[in-house]
Amino acid sequence: MADPTRPLPNLVPQPDGSWVGHTVLTPTALHTRGRFTMPSRKVVPVIVVPGIMGSNLKAGPRAAKQAERLLKPGEEAWRAPNGLVEGVTAARLWKSRNPRTRQLILDGDILEVDNRGAINLPDDASQYGTTKDEVRERGWGEVHADSYGKLLYGLYIGLNHTFEMDPLDRVRVLRRHWRDVIDCDPARWGVRSIEKITEKELEKHADYYYPVYACGYNWLKSCEDSANALKERIEQIIAFWQQRKCDCQKVILVTHSMGGLVARACAKQIPDRILGVIHGVMPALGAPVCYRRIACGTEKWSPSNGKVQNKTAEAVAEILGERPESTMAVMANSPGALQLLPNHLYPGPWLHLYMVSRVNNKDTGRDVAHLPAGNPYDMYRDMDSWYRLVDPQLADPANKSRGDLRKVKGDIRAAIDVAERFHRDQLGTYYHPNTYVFYGTDPAEMSFGAVRWVARDPGGGAVFTEANLRGAAGTGYGPSGGRRVRVEGRTDLHFVPARQDVAGDGTVPQQSGAGPKGMVRQMFDIRGFDHQEAFNQDAVLLLTHHLIVKMVQTLA
Protein backbone atom coordinates (compact mmCIF):
# COMPACT_ATOMS: atom_id res chain seq x y z
CA MET A 1 0.00 0.00 0.00
CA ALA A 2 1.37 3.42 -0.99
CA ASP A 3 2.19 5.85 1.77
CA PRO A 4 -0.43 8.57 2.30
CA THR A 5 0.37 11.97 0.78
CA ARG A 6 -0.72 15.56 1.29
CA PRO A 7 -0.73 18.24 -1.45
CA LEU A 8 1.84 21.01 -1.29
CA PRO A 9 1.47 24.48 -2.86
CA ASN A 10 1.65 24.41 -6.65
CA LEU A 11 5.06 24.53 -8.27
CA VAL A 12 6.28 27.88 -9.58
CA PRO A 13 7.86 28.05 -13.07
CA GLN A 14 11.38 29.50 -13.24
CA PRO A 15 13.14 31.41 -16.05
CA ASP A 16 15.53 28.48 -16.64
CA GLY A 17 12.63 26.13 -17.30
CA SER A 18 12.70 24.45 -13.91
CA TRP A 19 9.90 24.35 -11.35
CA VAL A 20 10.36 25.28 -7.70
CA GLY A 21 8.15 24.26 -4.81
CA HIS A 22 8.09 25.53 -1.25
CA THR A 23 7.06 23.71 1.89
CA VAL A 24 7.89 23.63 5.60
CA LEU A 25 9.41 20.99 7.84
CA THR A 26 6.94 18.81 9.75
CA PRO A 27 7.28 16.87 13.01
CA THR A 28 8.94 13.46 12.72
CA ALA A 29 5.74 11.90 14.01
CA LEU A 30 3.93 12.98 10.82
CA HIS A 31 4.42 10.21 8.27
CA THR A 32 2.27 11.72 5.50
CA ARG A 33 4.54 12.65 2.64
CA GLY A 34 4.24 15.97 0.79
CA ARG A 35 3.24 15.78 -2.88
CA PHE A 36 4.15 18.21 -5.66
CA THR A 37 2.47 17.82 -9.05
CA MET A 38 4.52 18.61 -12.14
CA PRO A 39 2.46 20.48 -14.78
CA SER A 40 2.82 19.87 -18.50
CA ARG A 41 5.18 22.10 -20.48
CA LYS A 42 2.48 22.54 -23.09
CA VAL A 43 0.51 25.52 -21.79
CA VAL A 44 -2.83 27.00 -22.86
CA PRO A 45 -3.72 29.96 -20.61
CA VAL A 46 -7.42 30.62 -20.09
CA ILE A 47 -8.36 34.27 -19.52
CA VAL A 48 -11.69 35.40 -18.06
CA VAL A 49 -12.81 38.86 -19.24
CA PRO A 50 -15.59 40.30 -17.01
CA GLY A 51 -18.58 42.50 -17.81
CA ILE A 52 -19.14 46.18 -17.08
CA MET A 53 -18.71 46.97 -13.38
CA GLY A 54 -17.18 43.51 -12.91
CA SER A 55 -13.66 44.94 -12.61
CA ASN A 56 -12.45 46.55 -9.38
CA LEU A 57 -11.15 50.10 -9.85
CA LYS A 58 -8.95 52.37 -7.77
CA ALA A 59 -7.69 55.92 -8.06
CA GLY A 60 -4.52 56.14 -10.11
CA PRO A 61 -1.74 58.71 -9.84
CA ARG A 62 -3.76 61.25 -11.87
CA ALA A 63 -6.24 61.48 -9.00
CA ALA A 64 -3.70 63.60 -7.13
CA LYS A 65 -4.10 66.31 -9.79
CA GLN A 66 -7.89 66.44 -9.65
CA ALA A 67 -9.03 69.93 -8.67
CA GLU A 68 -11.60 68.73 -6.15
CA ARG A 69 -9.97 65.50 -5.06
CA LEU A 70 -12.27 62.99 -3.39
CA LEU A 71 -9.92 60.03 -3.73
CA LYS A 72 -6.28 59.69 -2.87
CA PRO A 73 -4.07 57.73 -5.30
CA GLY A 74 -4.55 54.02 -4.63
CA GLU A 75 -7.89 54.47 -2.84
CA GLU A 76 -10.78 52.17 -3.81
CA ALA A 77 -13.22 53.75 -6.23
CA TRP A 78 -15.40 50.85 -7.33
CA ARG A 79 -15.94 47.35 -5.99
CA ALA A 80 -19.16 45.52 -6.64
CA PRO A 81 -20.32 44.13 -3.27
CA ASN A 82 -19.94 40.47 -2.36
CA GLY A 83 -22.72 38.99 -0.27
CA LEU A 84 -25.71 40.47 1.53
CA VAL A 85 -23.87 42.49 4.18
CA GLU A 86 -21.59 44.18 1.66
CA GLY A 87 -24.59 44.76 -0.59
CA VAL A 88 -26.56 46.57 2.10
CA THR A 89 -23.51 48.64 3.06
CA ALA A 90 -22.76 49.56 -0.56
CA ALA A 91 -26.39 50.52 -1.22
CA ARG A 92 -26.39 52.89 1.76
CA LEU A 93 -23.07 54.40 0.75
CA TRP A 94 -23.95 55.05 -2.88
CA LYS A 95 -27.45 56.29 -2.03
CA SER A 96 -25.83 58.95 0.15
CA ARG A 97 -23.62 60.15 -2.72
CA ASN A 98 -25.06 62.98 -4.79
CA PRO A 99 -24.58 63.20 -8.59
CA ARG A 100 -21.57 65.49 -8.24
CA THR A 101 -19.78 63.03 -5.96
CA ARG A 102 -20.60 60.14 -8.28
CA GLN A 103 -19.15 61.98 -11.27
CA LEU A 104 -15.95 62.88 -9.42
CA ILE A 105 -15.38 59.34 -8.12
CA LEU A 106 -16.32 57.39 -11.25
CA ASP A 107 -14.12 59.37 -13.59
CA GLY A 108 -12.46 56.96 -16.00
CA ASP A 109 -9.58 59.34 -16.65
CA ILE A 110 -8.28 59.05 -13.08
CA LEU A 111 -8.99 55.36 -12.40
CA GLU A 112 -7.17 52.10 -13.01
CA VAL A 113 -7.74 48.40 -12.34
CA ASP A 114 -7.38 47.29 -8.71
CA ASN A 115 -6.08 43.77 -7.99
CA ARG A 116 -6.81 43.93 -4.25
CA GLY A 117 -10.37 42.63 -4.46
CA ALA A 118 -11.71 39.66 -2.53
CA ILE A 119 -10.60 36.14 -3.44
CA ASN A 120 -12.78 33.53 -1.78
CA LEU A 121 -11.28 30.10 -2.34
CA PRO A 122 -13.41 27.12 -1.27
CA ASP A 123 -12.43 24.88 1.61
CA ASP A 124 -11.06 22.16 -0.68
CA ALA A 125 -8.58 24.50 -2.41
CA SER A 126 -5.70 23.34 -0.19
CA GLN A 127 -5.98 19.75 -1.43
CA TYR A 128 -5.10 21.05 -4.90
CA GLY A 129 -2.20 23.19 -3.69
CA THR A 130 -4.03 26.41 -4.62
CA THR A 131 -3.19 29.57 -2.67
CA LYS A 132 -4.56 33.11 -2.74
CA ASP A 133 -1.12 34.53 -3.49
CA GLU A 134 -0.82 32.36 -6.59
CA VAL A 135 -4.19 33.27 -8.08
CA ARG A 136 -3.90 36.95 -7.13
CA GLU A 137 -0.79 37.08 -9.32
CA ARG A 138 -3.04 35.83 -12.10
CA GLY A 139 -5.47 38.71 -11.70
CA TRP A 140 -8.29 37.06 -9.75
CA GLY A 141 -8.41 40.03 -7.38
CA GLU A 142 -9.18 42.33 -10.32
CA VAL A 143 -12.72 41.02 -10.76
CA HIS A 144 -15.92 40.64 -8.74
CA ALA A 145 -15.58 37.51 -6.62
CA ASP A 146 -19.29 36.68 -6.39
CA SER A 147 -19.71 36.81 -10.18
CA TYR A 148 -16.50 35.12 -11.32
CA GLY A 149 -14.94 33.28 -8.39
CA LYS A 150 -16.80 30.04 -9.04
CA LEU A 151 -15.89 30.16 -12.73
CA LEU A 152 -12.21 30.90 -12.12
CA TYR A 153 -11.77 28.20 -9.52
CA GLY A 154 -13.92 25.70 -11.41
CA LEU A 155 -11.82 26.12 -14.55
CA TYR A 156 -8.53 26.01 -12.67
CA ILE A 157 -9.34 22.76 -10.91
CA GLY A 158 -11.47 21.11 -13.58
CA LEU A 159 -9.20 21.74 -16.55
CA ASN A 160 -6.05 20.61 -14.75
CA HIS A 161 -7.44 17.47 -13.09
CA THR A 162 -8.86 15.14 -15.70
CA PHE A 163 -8.05 11.59 -14.55
CA GLU A 164 -7.43 9.92 -11.20
CA MET A 165 -6.61 6.47 -9.89
CA ASP A 166 -9.48 4.41 -8.56
CA PRO A 167 -8.48 3.68 -4.93
CA LEU A 168 -9.82 0.11 -5.05
CA ASP A 169 -9.04 -1.16 -8.53
CA ARG A 170 -5.94 1.02 -9.02
CA VAL A 171 -6.93 1.85 -12.60
CA ARG A 172 -7.22 5.22 -14.26
CA VAL A 173 -10.70 6.71 -14.28
CA LEU A 174 -12.26 10.02 -15.24
CA ARG A 175 -12.83 12.44 -12.43
CA ARG A 176 -16.45 12.94 -11.45
CA HIS A 177 -16.51 16.45 -12.87
CA TRP A 178 -15.73 15.23 -16.37
CA ARG A 179 -18.30 12.47 -16.14
CA ASP A 180 -20.83 15.23 -15.34
CA VAL A 181 -19.71 17.15 -18.43
CA ILE A 182 -20.14 14.10 -20.66
CA ASP A 183 -23.48 13.13 -19.13
CA CYS A 184 -25.01 16.62 -19.21
CA ASP A 185 -28.34 16.67 -21.03
CA PRO A 186 -27.86 18.91 -24.13
CA ALA A 187 -31.29 20.40 -23.45
CA ARG A 188 -29.73 22.19 -20.46
CA TRP A 189 -27.52 23.94 -23.02
CA GLY A 190 -30.45 24.84 -25.26
CA VAL A 191 -29.69 22.30 -28.02
CA ARG A 192 -31.29 19.01 -29.00
CA SER A 193 -28.02 17.15 -29.41
CA ILE A 194 -24.30 17.77 -29.26
CA GLU A 195 -21.15 15.88 -30.12
CA LYS A 196 -20.09 14.69 -26.69
CA ILE A 197 -16.47 14.77 -25.69
CA THR A 198 -14.72 11.39 -25.70
CA GLU A 199 -12.09 9.87 -23.46
CA LYS A 200 -9.62 10.11 -26.34
CA GLU A 201 -10.28 13.85 -26.56
CA LEU A 202 -9.81 14.15 -22.81
CA GLU A 203 -6.47 12.35 -23.09
CA LYS A 204 -5.28 15.04 -25.51
CA HIS A 205 -6.77 17.70 -23.26
CA ALA A 206 -4.83 16.30 -20.29
CA ASP A 207 -1.54 16.78 -22.15
CA TYR A 208 -1.79 20.53 -21.53
CA TYR A 209 -1.55 22.79 -18.51
CA TYR A 210 -4.23 25.48 -18.16
CA PRO A 211 -3.26 28.42 -15.91
CA VAL A 212 -6.41 30.49 -15.38
CA TYR A 213 -6.24 34.28 -15.37
CA ALA A 214 -8.69 37.16 -14.95
CA CYS A 215 -8.19 40.38 -16.86
CA GLY A 216 -10.03 43.37 -15.44
CA TYR A 217 -10.27 46.63 -17.35
CA ASN A 218 -11.36 50.23 -16.84
CA TRP A 219 -14.96 49.84 -17.98
CA LEU A 220 -15.57 53.59 -17.89
CA LYS A 221 -13.12 54.05 -20.76
CA SER A 222 -13.75 53.03 -24.35
CA CYS A 223 -13.86 49.30 -25.08
CA GLU A 224 -11.15 50.04 -27.63
CA ASP A 225 -8.82 51.08 -24.79
CA SER A 226 -9.82 47.95 -22.85
CA ALA A 227 -9.19 45.78 -25.91
CA ASN A 228 -5.68 47.19 -26.19
CA ALA A 229 -5.08 46.46 -22.48
CA LEU A 230 -6.32 42.88 -22.98
CA LYS A 231 -4.03 42.47 -26.00
CA GLU A 232 -1.07 43.61 -23.92
CA ARG A 233 -2.01 41.18 -21.12
CA ILE A 234 -2.27 38.28 -23.57
CA GLU A 235 1.15 39.03 -24.99
CA GLN A 236 2.62 39.30 -21.48
CA ILE A 237 1.11 35.96 -20.42
CA ILE A 238 2.36 34.14 -23.51
CA ALA A 239 5.82 35.69 -23.12
CA PHE A 240 5.90 34.67 -19.43
CA TRP A 241 5.45 30.99 -20.27
CA GLN A 242 7.73 31.05 -23.30
CA GLN A 243 10.50 32.61 -21.22
CA ARG A 244 10.15 29.64 -18.87
CA LYS A 245 10.82 27.20 -21.70
CA CYS A 246 7.18 26.19 -22.10
CA ASP A 247 5.33 25.68 -25.37
CA CYS A 248 2.71 28.43 -25.18
CA GLN A 249 1.36 29.90 -28.40
CA LYS A 250 -2.31 30.74 -27.87
CA VAL A 251 -4.84 31.57 -25.17
CA ILE A 252 -8.54 30.87 -24.70
CA LEU A 253 -10.85 33.76 -23.79
CA VAL A 254 -14.00 33.30 -21.69
CA THR A 255 -16.05 36.48 -21.61
CA HIS A 256 -19.04 37.85 -19.77
CA SER A 257 -21.37 40.57 -21.09
CA MET A 258 -19.44 43.73 -22.08
CA GLY A 259 -16.23 41.69 -21.88
CA GLY A 260 -17.34 40.06 -25.11
CA LEU A 261 -17.13 43.39 -26.95
CA VAL A 262 -13.68 43.99 -25.50
CA ALA A 263 -12.51 40.50 -26.48
CA ARG A 264 -13.88 40.75 -30.03
CA ALA A 265 -12.00 44.00 -30.64
CA CYS A 266 -8.86 42.43 -29.19
CA ALA A 267 -9.18 39.19 -31.17
CA LYS A 268 -9.53 41.18 -34.37
CA GLN A 269 -6.03 42.54 -33.73
CA ILE A 270 -4.31 39.26 -32.77
CA PRO A 271 -6.44 36.34 -34.04
CA ASP A 272 -3.39 34.05 -34.27
CA ARG A 273 -2.72 34.46 -30.54
CA ILE A 274 -6.18 33.17 -29.62
CA LEU A 275 -7.20 29.53 -29.80
CA GLY A 276 -10.88 30.23 -29.24
CA VAL A 277 -13.46 32.41 -27.52
CA ILE A 278 -16.51 31.61 -25.41
CA HIS A 279 -18.89 34.56 -25.15
CA GLY A 280 -21.44 34.52 -22.34
CA VAL A 281 -24.55 36.79 -22.37
CA MET A 282 -22.86 39.32 -24.63
CA PRO A 283 -24.93 42.34 -25.73
CA ALA A 284 -23.72 41.74 -29.26
CA LEU A 285 -25.94 44.47 -30.71
CA GLY A 286 -26.22 46.57 -27.56
CA ALA A 287 -29.11 46.70 -25.10
CA PRO A 288 -32.02 49.16 -24.72
CA VAL A 289 -31.65 48.90 -20.94
CA CYS A 290 -28.61 51.15 -21.35
CA TYR A 291 -30.80 53.93 -22.81
CA ARG A 292 -33.38 53.28 -20.11
CA ARG A 293 -30.87 53.65 -17.28
CA ILE A 294 -29.15 56.76 -18.63
CA ALA A 295 -32.39 58.49 -19.52
CA CYS A 296 -34.57 57.40 -16.60
CA GLY A 297 -32.38 56.02 -13.81
CA THR A 298 -32.01 52.37 -12.84
CA GLU A 299 -35.17 50.28 -12.75
CA LYS A 300 -36.17 48.99 -9.30
CA TRP A 301 -38.68 46.40 -10.39
CA SER A 302 -39.21 43.63 -12.94
CA PRO A 303 -42.25 41.48 -13.74
CA SER A 304 -39.89 38.48 -13.50
CA ASN A 305 -38.97 39.20 -9.88
CA GLY A 306 -40.41 37.99 -6.62
CA LYS A 307 -40.35 40.11 -3.48
CA VAL A 308 -36.78 39.16 -2.54
CA GLN A 309 -35.49 39.79 -6.07
CA ASN A 310 -37.18 43.18 -6.18
CA LYS A 311 -35.50 44.10 -2.90
CA THR A 312 -32.20 43.22 -4.54
CA ALA A 313 -33.17 45.31 -7.57
CA GLU A 314 -33.88 48.26 -5.27
CA ALA A 315 -30.41 47.94 -3.75
CA VAL A 316 -28.82 47.74 -7.20
CA ALA A 317 -30.72 50.90 -8.22
CA GLU A 318 -29.46 52.70 -5.12
CA ILE A 319 -25.89 51.76 -6.04
CA LEU A 320 -26.12 52.59 -9.75
CA GLY A 321 -28.45 55.57 -9.37
CA GLU A 322 -32.22 55.67 -8.98
CA ARG A 323 -32.79 58.84 -10.98
CA PRO A 324 -31.46 60.23 -14.27
CA GLU A 325 -29.42 62.97 -12.61
CA SER A 326 -27.33 60.23 -10.92
CA THR A 327 -26.95 57.91 -13.91
CA MET A 328 -26.28 60.68 -16.46
CA ALA A 329 -23.54 62.13 -14.27
CA VAL A 330 -21.53 58.93 -14.79
CA MET A 331 -22.78 57.08 -17.87
CA ALA A 332 -23.10 60.09 -20.19
CA ASN A 333 -19.42 60.81 -19.54
CA SER A 334 -18.30 57.20 -19.99
CA PRO A 335 -17.44 56.00 -23.52
CA GLY A 336 -17.57 52.41 -22.25
CA ALA A 337 -21.13 52.75 -20.96
CA LEU A 338 -22.26 54.48 -24.16
CA GLN A 339 -20.91 51.55 -26.18
CA LEU A 340 -23.59 49.35 -24.59
CA LEU A 341 -26.37 51.34 -26.29
CA PRO A 342 -28.24 49.62 -29.15
CA ASN A 343 -25.91 49.89 -32.12
CA HIS A 344 -26.60 50.32 -35.83
CA LEU A 345 -27.27 46.57 -36.20
CA TYR A 346 -29.87 46.34 -33.43
CA PRO A 347 -33.32 45.61 -34.92
CA GLY A 348 -35.38 48.76 -34.85
CA PRO A 349 -37.33 50.73 -34.19
CA TRP A 350 -36.88 50.02 -30.49
CA LEU A 351 -37.91 53.34 -28.86
CA HIS A 352 -41.64 54.08 -28.94
CA LEU A 353 -43.94 56.87 -27.79
CA TYR A 354 -47.12 55.18 -26.58
CA MET A 355 -50.48 56.76 -25.77
CA VAL A 356 -53.20 55.20 -23.59
CA SER A 357 -56.80 56.34 -24.11
CA ARG A 358 -60.00 55.49 -22.28
CA VAL A 359 -62.65 54.23 -24.71
CA ASN A 360 -65.94 52.70 -23.55
CA ASN A 361 -64.55 52.35 -20.03
CA LYS A 362 -61.58 50.38 -21.32
CA ASP A 363 -57.95 51.42 -21.69
CA THR A 364 -56.59 51.05 -25.20
CA GLY A 365 -53.10 51.94 -26.31
CA ARG A 366 -51.07 52.46 -29.43
CA ASP A 367 -47.54 53.31 -30.47
CA VAL A 368 -47.74 56.76 -32.01
CA ALA A 369 -44.06 57.26 -32.84
CA HIS A 370 -41.22 54.87 -33.56
CA LEU A 371 -37.51 55.63 -33.14
CA PRO A 372 -34.76 55.79 -34.10
CA ALA A 373 -35.65 56.93 -37.59
CA GLY A 374 -32.30 56.41 -39.28
CA ASN A 375 -28.87 56.45 -37.66
CA PRO A 376 -29.33 55.65 -33.92
CA TYR A 377 -26.20 57.62 -33.03
CA ASP A 378 -27.85 60.78 -34.36
CA MET A 379 -30.66 60.18 -31.86
CA TYR A 380 -28.07 59.78 -29.07
CA ARG A 381 -26.38 63.03 -30.13
CA ASP A 382 -29.72 64.89 -30.01
CA MET A 383 -29.84 66.73 -26.68
CA ASP A 384 -32.85 68.89 -27.45
CA SER A 385 -35.80 66.51 -27.85
CA TRP A 386 -37.72 65.69 -24.68
CA TYR A 387 -37.00 61.94 -25.14
CA ARG A 388 -33.27 62.63 -25.45
CA LEU A 389 -30.77 60.20 -24.05
CA VAL A 390 -28.79 62.90 -22.24
CA ASP A 391 -29.89 66.17 -20.71
CA PRO A 392 -26.79 68.41 -20.76
CA GLN A 393 -28.14 70.26 -17.71
CA LEU A 394 -27.75 67.01 -15.70
CA ALA A 395 -24.57 65.63 -17.26
CA ASP A 396 -21.97 67.74 -15.45
CA PRO A 397 -22.93 68.25 -11.80
CA ALA A 398 -19.22 68.44 -10.91
CA ASN A 399 -19.01 71.52 -13.15
CA LYS A 400 -15.92 70.32 -14.97
CA SER A 401 -17.00 72.41 -17.95
CA ARG A 402 -17.28 75.52 -15.74
CA GLY A 403 -20.88 76.07 -16.76
CA ASP A 404 -20.24 75.95 -20.50
CA LEU A 405 -23.15 73.89 -21.90
CA ARG A 406 -21.62 73.94 -25.36
CA LYS A 407 -18.59 72.13 -23.96
CA VAL A 408 -20.80 69.62 -22.14
CA LYS A 409 -22.66 68.84 -25.36
CA GLY A 410 -19.44 68.71 -27.33
CA ASP A 411 -17.80 66.27 -24.91
CA ILE A 412 -20.85 63.98 -24.90
CA ARG A 413 -21.15 64.02 -28.68
CA ALA A 414 -17.45 63.23 -28.93
CA ALA A 415 -17.97 60.21 -26.66
CA ILE A 416 -20.90 59.08 -28.82
CA ASP A 417 -18.69 59.50 -31.90
CA VAL A 418 -16.20 57.16 -30.22
CA ALA A 419 -19.00 54.65 -29.62
CA GLU A 420 -20.12 54.80 -33.25
CA ARG A 421 -16.59 54.31 -34.56
CA PHE A 422 -16.06 51.40 -32.18
CA HIS A 423 -19.27 49.68 -33.25
CA ARG A 424 -18.78 50.24 -36.97
CA ASP A 425 -14.99 49.99 -37.37
CA GLN A 426 -13.51 48.05 -34.46
CA LEU A 427 -16.34 45.51 -34.16
CA GLY A 428 -18.57 45.46 -37.22
CA THR A 429 -19.60 41.82 -37.59
CA TYR A 430 -16.21 40.39 -36.62
CA TYR A 431 -15.95 37.24 -34.52
CA HIS A 432 -12.89 35.08 -34.02
CA PRO A 433 -13.26 32.04 -36.31
CA ASN A 434 -13.32 29.66 -33.31
CA THR A 435 -16.10 31.33 -31.31
CA TYR A 436 -18.97 29.88 -29.29
CA VAL A 437 -21.80 31.92 -27.76
CA PHE A 438 -24.42 31.31 -25.10
CA TYR A 439 -27.20 33.74 -24.26
CA GLY A 440 -30.48 33.93 -22.35
CA THR A 441 -33.93 33.39 -23.85
CA ASP A 442 -35.90 32.97 -20.66
CA PRO A 443 -39.43 34.42 -20.40
CA ALA A 444 -38.91 34.26 -16.64
CA GLU A 445 -36.00 36.73 -17.00
CA MET A 446 -37.66 39.62 -18.84
CA SER A 447 -35.46 42.24 -20.50
CA PHE A 448 -35.91 45.48 -22.40
CA GLY A 449 -36.14 44.55 -26.06
CA ALA A 450 -37.59 48.02 -26.57
CA VAL A 451 -38.20 51.08 -24.43
CA ARG A 452 -41.63 52.67 -24.39
CA TRP A 453 -42.47 56.09 -23.10
CA VAL A 454 -46.11 55.75 -21.99
CA ALA A 455 -48.56 58.60 -21.33
CA ARG A 456 -52.30 58.76 -20.71
CA ASP A 457 -54.53 60.90 -22.91
CA PRO A 458 -56.03 63.53 -20.54
CA GLY A 459 -59.22 63.51 -22.60
CA GLY A 460 -59.30 67.17 -23.56
CA GLY A 461 -59.92 66.54 -27.23
CA ALA A 462 -56.29 66.90 -28.38
CA VAL A 463 -55.14 64.74 -31.29
CA PHE A 464 -51.74 63.11 -30.84
CA THR A 465 -49.59 62.40 -33.87
CA GLU A 466 -46.01 61.38 -34.40
CA ALA A 467 -45.15 64.94 -35.38
CA ASN A 468 -46.64 66.72 -32.40
CA LEU A 469 -45.41 64.14 -29.87
CA ARG A 470 -41.87 64.21 -31.20
CA GLY A 471 -42.00 68.00 -31.31
CA ALA A 472 -43.41 68.40 -27.79
CA ALA A 473 -41.47 70.52 -25.31
CA GLY A 474 -39.99 68.98 -22.18
CA THR A 475 -41.16 70.74 -19.03
CA GLY A 476 -39.47 68.69 -16.30
CA TYR A 477 -38.99 65.31 -14.66
CA GLY A 478 -41.51 63.22 -12.79
CA PRO A 479 -41.07 60.34 -10.33
CA SER A 480 -39.63 56.97 -11.40
CA GLY A 481 -37.69 58.51 -14.26
CA GLY A 482 -40.76 60.03 -15.92
CA ARG A 483 -40.75 63.13 -18.12
CA ARG A 484 -43.32 65.90 -18.34
CA VAL A 485 -44.01 67.43 -21.75
CA ARG A 486 -46.33 69.99 -23.30
CA VAL A 487 -47.84 69.23 -26.71
CA GLU A 488 -48.48 72.15 -29.07
CA GLY A 489 -48.09 74.54 -26.17
CA ARG A 490 -51.35 73.58 -24.47
CA THR A 491 -51.69 69.89 -23.52
CA ASP A 492 -49.61 68.52 -20.64
CA LEU A 493 -48.59 64.85 -20.59
CA HIS A 494 -46.52 62.78 -18.20
CA PHE A 495 -44.54 60.01 -19.90
CA VAL A 496 -43.18 57.11 -17.83
CA PRO A 497 -40.99 54.22 -18.99
CA ALA A 498 -42.81 50.91 -19.45
CA ARG A 499 -41.62 47.67 -17.93
CA GLN A 500 -39.44 44.99 -19.50
CA ASP A 501 -41.07 43.40 -22.54
CA VAL A 502 -39.15 40.41 -23.98
CA ALA A 503 -37.44 37.20 -22.90
CA GLY A 504 -33.73 37.35 -22.17
CA ASP A 505 -31.55 37.17 -19.08
CA GLY A 506 -32.95 40.17 -17.21
CA THR A 507 -30.50 42.56 -18.89
CA VAL A 508 -29.66 41.52 -22.45
CA PRO A 509 -32.72 40.84 -24.65
CA GLN A 510 -32.78 37.70 -26.73
CA GLN A 511 -32.48 39.61 -30.03
CA SER A 512 -29.13 41.07 -28.98
CA GLY A 513 -27.86 37.87 -27.40
CA ALA A 514 -28.68 36.05 -30.65
CA GLY A 515 -26.92 38.72 -32.72
CA PRO A 516 -23.91 36.52 -33.63
CA LYS A 517 -26.12 33.84 -35.20
CA GLY A 518 -24.61 32.60 -38.45
CA MET A 519 -21.21 34.15 -37.66
CA VAL A 520 -19.89 31.77 -34.97
CA ARG A 521 -19.36 28.04 -34.62
CA GLN A 522 -22.34 27.38 -32.39
CA MET A 523 -24.97 29.21 -30.36
CA PHE A 524 -26.58 28.02 -27.13
CA ASP A 525 -29.81 29.65 -25.94
CA ILE A 526 -29.99 28.76 -22.27
CA ARG A 527 -32.67 29.42 -19.68
CA GLY A 528 -32.74 29.54 -15.92
CA PHE A 529 -30.23 32.24 -15.03
CA ASP A 530 -29.95 35.96 -14.40
CA HIS A 531 -27.46 37.99 -16.43
CA GLN A 532 -25.00 38.72 -13.63
CA GLU A 533 -25.18 35.17 -12.26
CA ALA A 534 -24.60 33.43 -15.61
CA PHE A 535 -21.27 31.82 -14.70
CA ASN A 536 -22.56 30.65 -11.33
CA GLN A 537 -24.87 28.12 -13.04
CA ASP A 538 -23.69 24.51 -13.11
CA ALA A 539 -24.97 23.94 -16.67
CA VAL A 540 -22.99 26.93 -17.93
CA LEU A 541 -19.82 25.77 -16.17
CA LEU A 542 -20.18 22.28 -17.66
CA LEU A 543 -20.69 23.76 -21.13
CA THR A 544 -17.61 25.96 -20.74
CA HIS A 545 -15.47 22.93 -19.91
CA HIS A 546 -16.97 20.98 -22.83
CA LEU A 547 -16.16 23.76 -25.30
CA ILE A 548 -12.59 24.20 -24.08
CA VAL A 549 -11.91 20.49 -24.65
CA LYS A 550 -13.26 20.82 -28.19
CA MET A 551 -11.03 23.85 -28.83
CA VAL A 552 -7.92 22.01 -27.68
CA GLN A 553 -8.52 19.27 -30.27
CA THR A 554 -7.59 21.79 -32.99
CA LEU A 555 -4.03 22.08 -31.64
CA ALA A 556 -1.36 20.23 -33.63
Domain boundaries, the chain: 5-51+115-280+521-552, 286-510
User: pLDDT tens across 276-301, in order?
Assistant: 999 999 999 999 999 999 999 999 98
pLDDT > 90? residue 337? yes
Please tell me the distance from the alpha carbon of residue 208 to that of residue 554, in angstroms, as a whole number: 13
Query: Which phi and psi (to 5°) does residue 27 adopt?
Result: -60, 150
User: pLDDT tens across 518-533, in order?
Assistant: 999 999 999 999 999 9
Q: Is the dihedral of CA 7, 9, 10, 14 positive or negative?
A: negative
Which residues lie closer than 8 Å to 540 by C-beta, 6 or more apart?
A: 280, 438, 526, 529, 534
pLDDT > 80? residue 311? yes
pLDDT > 70? residue 137? yes
Cα 72 from chain centroid (whole Å): 27
pLDDT at 165: 79
User: pLDDT tens across 422-440, in order?
Assistant: 999 999 999 999 999 999 9
The SS3 call for residue 202 is: helix
Compute the average pLDDT of residues 403-432. Answer: 96
Compute the average pLDDT of residues 484-508. Answer: 96
User: pLDDT tens across 346-372, in order?
Assistant: 999 999 999 999 887 888 999 999 999
The SS3 call for residue 454 is: strand
Please tell me the distance from the alpha carbon of residue 515 to that of residue 344, in angstroms, as a whole number: 12
3-state secondary structure 167-187: CCCCCEEECHHHHHHHHCCHH
pLDDT > 90? residue 34? no
Pairing mode of beta strands 19-20, 12-13 = antiparallel
For the ranges 64-68, 373-377, 437-441, 492-496, the lowest mean pLDDT is seen at 64-68
Compute the average pLDDT of residues 306-311. Answer: 89
Please tell me the distance from the alpha carbon of residue 532 to that of residue 219, in angstroms, as a whole number: 16
With cut-offs at 50, 70 and 90, classify the pLDDT of residue 124: confident
pLDDT at 556: 84
Compute the average pLDDT of residues 497-508. Answer: 96
With cut-offs at 50, 70 and 90, classify the pLDDT of residue 25: low
With cut-offs at 50, 70 and 90, classify the pLDDT of residue 1: very low
With cut-offs at 50, 70 and 90, classify the pLDDT of residue 30: low
Which residues lie closer than 8 Å to 375 by C-beta, 6 or more apart?
A: 344
Say what percent of the chain tops pLDDT 70. 93
pLDDT at 413: 96
Compute the average pLDDT of residues 163-181. Answer: 86
Compute the average pLDDT of residues 146-159. Answer: 96
pLDDT at 331: 97
pLDDT at 269: 97
Which residues partner with 455 through β-bridges?
355
Average pLDDT across the chain, whole number: 92
